[in-house]
Amino acid sequence: DVKVTQSSRYLVKRTGEKVFLECVQDMDHENMFWYRQDPGLGLRLIYFSYDVKMKEKGDIPEGYSVSREKKERFSLILESASTNQTSMYLCASSPNSGIKETQYFGPGTRLLVL
Amino acid sequence: AQKITQTQPGMFVQEKEAVTLDCTYDTSDQSYGLFWYKQPSSGEMIFLIYQGSYDEQNATEGRYSLNFQKARKSANLVISASQLGDSAMYFCARDTGRRALTFGSGTRLQVQP
C-alpha cells in the first residue's frame, strides 16, 4: 500500500515563527503536492513538485515556500507564520503513469498559529 | 480557474437508503478526469471513484457509482445502501492538466440509523 506520512498531526506555533511541515512518501512517486483545507473552501493547492528540486506554484503560494531535495520528501515552509495560516495542511503524492492515477494523501497536519 | 461546484453543504440520509451528492464543473477541455474523495472525521482523504471524460460508461466501485452527464458538466456521486460508516465529508475534484487537482467545497453527509 502507498503510504504518505506527515511529520505532525497537530502543531501550535506563534506568529512570526518559521514553520516546517514535512511529508514523506514510500512509493517512489514523481509528483508531490501541498494543499490547505479550510471550511467551506475545500482543498486549495499551495505548491507542487514533479521532480527533485523542481517546484511549481499552485493557486495560493503567498506566504509559503517548499523544498524537495530527495524524491520521497517534500517540505512546506512558512517563513513567518501568521494567524491566517491556521489551517489543515494535506500532503499528497502521485505517480507519472497517466491521467487515471489518483493522488494519495497523508493524514494531514492541523496547524494553529497564535 | 476551472471551478468545481458542490451545492450541498450538508446532507442527511437514512441508513440503507441511497443518496446522491451533486457536483458540477467548469471546463473548456475535451479530455479530463473527475474524482471523488471521502474524508472521515479522522482527516485522511480516501479515493472513491474516477471518471474519465471519454469513458463511455459511468464508473462504478462497489456501492459507489458516478452519474456522469458530460453535456451538463455534472458528475454526481451515488452511494447505494448507505451505512453509518459513510458519514463523512465528500469532495469532488478534477484534474487541472498540471498534475494537480481542483476540489469543490465538499458535502458533509450524515447517515442516520
Task: Specify burial of residue B83 (Cβ count, 10 A radius: 0-12, 13-18, 19+).
Answer: exposed
Query: In whole angstroms, how large is the CA radius of gyration of chain A?
Result: 13
- Angle (CA) B74-B78-B84 rounded to 5° is 140
Tens of pLDDT, residue by residue over B60-110, are 999 999 999 999 999 999 999 999 999 999 999 998 776 789 999 999 999
Tell me which residue of B3, B2, B15, B7 sits closest to B113, measured CA to CA.
B15
User: Under an 8 Å CB criterion, which residues of B touch A?
Assistant: 1, 4, 6, 9, 31-33, 35, 37, 42-45, 47, 50, 52, 91, 93, 95, 98-106
Tens of pLDDT, residue by residue over B12-59, are 999 999 999 999 999 888 888 999 999 999 888 999 999 999 988 999
Q: Which one of A40, A105, A110 has the shortest CB-CB distance to B45? A: A105
C-alpha cell at B26: 467548469
CA dihedral sign of residues A59, A56, A106, A95? positive
Q: Taking CB atoms and an 8 Å limit, are A106 and B44 in contact across chains?
A: yes
Nearest chain B Cα distance for residue A41, angstroms = 5
